[in-house]
Amino acid sequence: MTISPKPYTAKFIRREQLTEDVYSHNFEKPVGFEFAPGQYNRWRIEMENPDERGTSRPFTVAVSPLNNYLVITTKKGITSFKRKLFELKEGEQINFFGPLGTFVLDEQDLRPKVFLAGGIGITPYYSMLTYAFEKKLTNIIILLASFSTKEEIIYHKELLEVSKILPNIKVIYTLTKEDVPGFESGRINEEMIKKYSDVSSSVFYIVGPPGMVSNIEGIVTAIGVSEERIKIENFTGY
């Protein structure tokens, strides 16, 4: 089902701290707004004297569509947009245009899915996996998420809970800057992908900053995954 994007207004509810500098910002879900798990909106905040990066940003809706609120999860930053976002108070309004994007969970496609993420790029998978959990989907999904350190990981507890209840979902986090029991160590690489996934039949989803995305796309292509089995979302702006 394709949902036509439209302009909406949403009220800010509250902010929740996930790590030292990553926060979730919750908004009321406007009446009539629907989206598919993994989609994003272009969010706009009215402000005087915005910097050259402007008043709007694309952000994934980092929550299952079955919830009655919307979430932006992002790091503190240095732009006027980020400053305004982190200053929003309860009841203040944000505008957005959406839903946008085709990087979505295709539950009709019964091939196993491998979700590869770098850092904050985990947001679309959080939407997809919590949706899969709520709908008790039986699709085989392997999440392989990379963060620098244990301090920086997000959604780990929540997604491990999902994987405990749904045996078709497996959640692996790797840390690139430290060795910690219970985590893989190092960047997502060929060995790790082969260890956890069926390379010959799976559909590979890749999301994160563009440098990381092109690096992982190179790895999966080199191990024989055809273009038709690769889905990409570039978090431009980082």
Ligand X SMILES: Cc1cc2nc3c(=O)[nH]c(=O)nc-3n(C[C@H](O)[C@H](O)[C@H](O)COP(=O)(O)OP(=O)(O)OC[C@H]3O[C@@H](n4cnc5c(N)ncnc54)[C@H](O)[C@@H]3O)c2cc1C
Residue with smaller CB distance to ligand X, 54 or 182: 54
Task: Report, in Å, the least distance between residue 207 CB and ligand X.
Answer: 8
Residue with smaller CB distance to ligand X, 26 or 123: 123
Q: Which residue's C-beta sits nearest to ligand X?
A: 237
Residue with smaller CB distance to ligand X, 121 or 162: 121
Task: Report, in Å, the least distance between residue 9 CB and ligand X.
Answer: 20
Task: Report, in Å, the least distance between residue 200 CB and ligand X.
Answer: 29
- Residues of the shown chain interacting with ligand X in the complex, contacts defined by CB under 6 A: 40, 53, 57-60, 62, 73-75, 77-79, 81-82, 101, 120, 123, 233, 235-238
Residue with smaller CB distance to ligand X, 20 or 179: 20
- Distance between CA atoms of 18 and 210, rounded to whole angstroms? 23
Task: Report, in Å, the least distance between residue 77 CB and ligand X.
Answer: 2
Residue with smaller CB distance to ligand X, 81 or 205: 81
- Counting other chains too, the contacts that 76-82 makes at CB distance below 8 Å and 24 or more residues apart are 76/21, 76/22, 76/23, 79/51, 79/53, 80/47, 80/49, 80/50, 80/51, 80/53, 81/45, 81/47, 81/50, 81/51, 81/53, 81/54, 81/55, 81/56, 81/57
